[in-house]
Amino acid sequence: MKEGFCLSIEVLCFDLLKDPVMIQSLACLKESLSDLSNTYTTALLAYVFTLAGDVETRAHLLQHLDTVAVREGGFLYWSQTAAETSASLSVEISSYVLLAKLSASPTAEDLGYASGIIRWLTGQQNYYGGFSSTQVRHHPNSMKLIFEYSLRQNQGKKK
């Protein structure tokens, strides 16, 4: 069931990437890349261009995100600004960076990089396994990513 569903999603995405409207939309987004001052938007664009298979743009965005990442004691996360203290927003931004890293055949280096993000994200979880926030939209992404990362780590150990 899962493999069939994933294959259907991949076929749908591949077909969408051929759509002239989608091609024009991605071109329009690409034109906005001269201003990467909004970390949330940059993280979201990194994920979009990962899904679109635009390796060059993805690499450019991820490289920029790496320069603005917060590194503290083995943890890796992003915030909107240096003064930003919203854990909720940081969870969402960091989740999109992680999605971009893990959605394109991650290398061992990518998995190592992701481990710092995962450690930080798991530290943000509340007692019930979710994330304390008034926003709900980033919860499923964060939970999915933690699960996907652990699966990939286990697959790497079996090889």
- pLDDT at position 10, please? 45
- pLDDT at position 113, please? 93
- pLDDT at position 46, please? 93
Say what the pTM is: 0.76
Helical axes 87-102 vs 55-68, angle rounded to 10°: 140
- pLDDT at position 136, please? 42
Residues 132 and 87: beta-carbon distance below 8 Å? yes
- pLDDT at position 5, please? 36
- pLDDT at position 70, please? 93
- For 47, counting Cβ atoms within 10 Å of its Cβ (0-12 exposed, 13-18 middle, 19+ buried), the class is buried
- pLDDT at position 69, please? 95
- pLDDT at position 13, please? 54
Assign residue 87 a region (left: φ > 0; alpha: ψ between -120 and 50; beta: otherwise).
alpha
DSSP string, 64-78: HHHHH-EEETTEEE-
Q: Which residues of the chain have pLDDT under 70?
A: 1-17, 82, 84-85, 129, 132-159
